[in-house]
Structure 1
């Protein structure tokens, strides 16, 4: 079987993110909930960085800047929500309420990408381009930040410039938290 194209890859990631939300919500053990949220936070952070660097610029080049701008606004709101939960006690009622708001925002954003942006890419990008974009998404995800950085914005240029440094800082922060646990 051939490698997945970028739309298939990102759609699969959307389903995985939905499962991670379910896991965080349903897990009652505090340590397991924190572990599940850490995985969700990491996945959301690298996924959005990859979309901002690869997918959205391609859709813009194909003439769909208005669709991309709306998705970027949604991403910015989700980053702010995710950032507010990062480091919070996962057993607190504030966390549960924030997680519910984040889930609603992220899943609405994913639906909008799948219904409004991805069909445009499938219609206008050549199959080879879509496969190369999937490879680029995977490459970006290997070096992307693992925590939300809403102040960095949603620009592909800013993410490409700041992302690797932010990723290094995130990995050091993750290692320190892990050592302290």
Structure 2
């Protein structure tokens, strides 16, 4: 299952904002699933998109923002703290029965955390990157983001929120995650 198709002429920021839209849709689809099988399939897709999306941001976008925008370190550090909390929530949610009331409660809390994080990224990081980075460079970065997602772990790994940590742990985690996905993928 790959990231949602976004127009190939878009830049990295537009691509990631499109994924934020798809993540919002998936939260709604998981919550509104007609049965536990559908809920499990939609949650699998949501979890995977969240994991690869965050990895690409951590490896490509956040390091660029640190360098390119005023007060970039503080902006990125705040986003990384949010990402770590959301990864922990997502990891905890994975162990809960998708048909339970507890799952619904935890899913709602995760949704709120993720959507608040996405809003912060879009307003405090992405918009400022658009103002500072040439549009052509952002278009070229799109393929780099897609490549990072193609090689990213497909499950959350709290504590791995930096480009360096992703490079060190990412390939092994991605291999293990993809093996687990093959075994546990909902039918």
Mapped to 2, the partners of 1:84 and 1:51 lie a distance apart of 22
Measure, in 1, the Cα distance between the counterparts of 2:183 and 2:157: 19
Q: Distance in 2 between matches of 1:139 and 1:89?
A: 33
Match for residue 29 of structure 1 among 35, 45, 68:
35
Deviation at 1:50, TM superposition (A): 0.3
Q: Once superposed, what is the RMSD of the aligned Cα atoms?
A: 1.5
TM-aligned CA distance change 1:69 to 1:27, over 3 Å: same
Could you list the per-position Cα deviations for residues 65-105 of structure 1 after superposition, in whole angstroms to 9, with x for gaps in the alignment?
11111111111111000111124210111111110000000
- TM-score between the two structures when normalised by the length of structure 2: 0.91
Matching residue within 116, 120, 130 for 2:124: 116
Give 2:145's aligned residue: 137
Runs (4+) off by over 6 Å: none
1:49 aligns with one of 34, 52, 55: 55
Residue 160, structure 1, aligned to residue 167, structure 2: yes
**Structure 1 or 2: more helix by fraction:** 1
1:166–1:124 Cα change, 3 Å: same
CA distance in 2, matches of 1:60, 1:158: 16
Change (3 A) 1:18 1:115: same
Quote the residue 1:39 is aligned against.
45
Q: Runs of 5+ in structure 2 lacking a partner? A: 1-6
Alignment-derived partner of residue 97 in structure 1: 105
Counterpart-to-counterpart distance in 2, 1:41 and 1:178:
12
1:15 aligned residue: 21
Gaps in structure 1 of 5+ consecutive residues: none
Contact preservation (8 Å) 2:44, 2:185: no
Name the counterpart of 2:3. none
Alpha-carbon separation, structure 1, partners of 2:68 and 2:90: 30
How far did residue 2 of structure 1 move? 6.4
Q: CA-to-partner distance for each residue in 1:99-133, whole Å, 9 max, x for gaps?
A: 00000000000111111111110011112221122
Worse overlay, 85-94 or 13-22? 85-94
- Other-structure match for 2:184: 177
